[in-house]
Chain A
Amino acid sequence: MKKSFLILGLAMVIIGTGILVAGSTITIKGSDTLVRLGQRWAEEYMKEFPGTVIQVSGGGSGTGIAALLNGSTDICEASRDMKEKEYKKAKELGITPYRVSVALDGIAVFLHEENPVQNLTYAQLKGIYTGSITNWKEVGGNDARIILYGRENNSGTYTFFKEHVLNKEDYSEYTQTLPGTAAVVNAVSKDKNGIGYGGIAWAKGVKFAAVSEEDGGEYVIPSVETVSDGTYPISRDLYWFFSGQPTGNLKKLVNWALSDKGQKIAEEIDYVPLSKEKAKEYTIK
């Protein structure tokens, strides 16, 4: 009898502590493109303001948005805007999503370092990824089959690339899907005839293709500068979504991320910071 009381008491203490910690915990879930930034911001913020606990995890923009809608996260990181279906669902559930751009991102096209091809136009990229162009020699490379690597269909990067570059057409069914940009980079680095796409913050061991929106236009290689000044065409805003306008701890966190300090941290780990005007515009009064 005594033993069981002891165990019960211990369990209550553990649960109680859990509830206490949960009270001042901020959960951030969502985009795999943003997760590194979220984690770094969480680390630095917790260093500056001890007493807050921030938990960051990935899973894809779609996962984060679903979590926001079912209340299992405070902040949703997303590398794309919410779809109409998702806005509708939010309305049904009585949630007003509040969107803040926290950084910019360029989507690079990854090629194997030994691939002779360097420049690609939107039209060529579309042909490659929808399956109408299947051989590297059609775009000036070796006579070899193009091996397509991409993301799963819950990825914001997948959706953005499809809407922006493929004009909403379907990816070729031969696109091999990988669970994150790091996996795509890894796959392309091991495959001489591979091509992949993903956030520029992730590339190691592959080279970037220089992309031009128009045939005959200027080919631009993605970098922090070319994305920030808009010359690199495949670029997008990275968002944090909240349930309604953030207040209290959440407001403090997002304003800190938008501050010079937060944006500098983003730049240090290869994300593209917002321009000072934009950052000021998004800061919550």
Chain B
Amino acid sequence: MNELKFRPKSKIREFLGEKFIAVNAFIALIAIVLIFLFIFKEAIPIFTDSEIREEAGLDKMVFRQEFYEGREAKWSWQPNSEVPKYSLFPLFIGTLKAALIAMLFAAPLGIGAAVYSSEFAGKKMKEIIKPIIELLAGIPSVVLGFFALMILATFLQITLGLTFRLNALNAGIALGLAVIPIVFTIAEDAMNSVPGSLREAATALGANKWQVSLTTVLPAALPGIAAGVVLGFGRAVGETMIVLMASGNAAIISGSFLDSIRTFSATIAAELAEVVFGSAHYSVLFFIGSLLFVFTFIINFAGDMVLTRIKIKIQGKM
């Protein structure tokens, strides 16, 4: 039998090596904390500086404002106007609409594909489907945005007879394409992780393939599927390039999916490059950035927590 020979290592080298690797592990954590601190630091003047608070304080961003004497109070995003207006509500509605449409489009498709792939597809099909859907994930978002701007928008306008060519539906569908791989991968993993004993028990009780999948496996995998949808939603909220190109960027408040929208992320992307350093507009943009950061952080954290708990449950470890 071969003997493995290990050279005796010095204790100092071992100690340093260990600490070095530990530092690497912590760098990601430190980076997240620092990024958040820097972004939030630039947004703080909204709360502390009296001049900026006058122009863009928290109440001005949230509530309806009577910008001109005598006219009705309303929400409006016009930061470069004679009377700057910083209502966040239109942007919030826009972000929500885009993400919602994306999920309505991506969740059924992603989950459906996952159910098919894990329950009904033959081995060969499985090997084809997974890489193809993950190919979708590899498409750069600017390419998806370009596709939506040039082709999808015209197609939708002709088929549905739309008034606005660039609208929430257009951006939402393209967003959905970017999100499908996320939902699919996580949902498929969740379904594959359902123990075989559960399926066998259902079959033994007389269920056919459909019944096994829909009544036993799907419910068992539900927490994982839900986590996939939640993580997909987080991605849809933060996505910038697609909405910047395909949504029309008009800060409109309305319930219709066929109106143009302006999202938080697109607003930052479009306006940050020029904004006068240190102005109220500048701080508001960073405040929006902090909001996005916190929101996606919470969503991703929640989603990941659920997935980890499921993994632990299945593997039976602690």
Per-residue contact bits, chain B 190-224, to A (CB 8 Å; 1 contact, 0 not):
00000000000000000000000000000000000
Among B78, B271, B276, find the residue whose CB has the most chain A CB atoms closer than 10 A: B276
A145 to B, closest residue via Cβ: B163
Partner of A154 from B153, B260, B270 at Cβ < 8 Å: B270
The answer to whether A152 touches B271 (Cβ under 8 A) is yes
Contacts of B165 in A (CB 8 A): 147, 187, 190-191, 194
The answer to whether B251 touches A173 (Cβ under 8 A) is yes
Shortest Cβ gap from B258 to chain A (Å): 12
A89 to B, closest residue via Cβ: B276
Taking CB atoms and an 8 Å cut-off, the chain A residues in 116-174 that contact chain B are 145, 147, 152-154, 158-159, 168, 170-171, 173-174
Partner of B279 from A85, A175, A190, A191 at Cβ < 8 Å: A85
Docked Cα-Cα span, A63 to B269, in Å, equals: 12
The answer to whether A176 touches B249 (Cβ under 8 A) is yes
B15 on interface, CB distance cutoff 8 Å: no
B3 on interface, CB distance cutoff 8 Å: no
Shortest Cβ gap from A73 to chain B (Å): 13
Contacts of B153 in A (CB 8 A): 190
Shortest Cβ gap from B272 to chain A (Å): 9
A83 to B, closest residue via Cβ: B276
The answer to whether B271 touches A70 (Cβ under 8 A) is no
Taking CB atoms and an 8 Å cut-off, the chain B residues in 242-281 that contact chain A are 244, 248-252, 260, 262, 270-271, 273-277, 279
Partner of A176 from B78, B80, B164, B275 at Cβ < 8 Å: B164
Contacts of A59 in B (CB 8 A): 273-274
A174-B260 in contact given A89-B277, A147-B163, A152-B271 (Cβ < 8 Å): yes
The answer to whether A168 touches B82 (Cβ under 8 A) is yes
Shortest Cβ gap from B78 to chain A (Å): 5
B79 to A, closest residue via Cβ: A153
The answer to whether B78 touches A70 (Cβ under 8 A) is no
Contacts of A39 in B (CB 8 A): none
Shortest Cβ gap from B110 to chain A (Å): 30
B81 on interface, CB distance cutoff 8 Å: yes
Give the interface of B toward A (CB within 8 A). 76-82, 85, 90, 153-154, 157, 163-166, 244, 248-252, 260, 262, 270-271, 273-277, 279
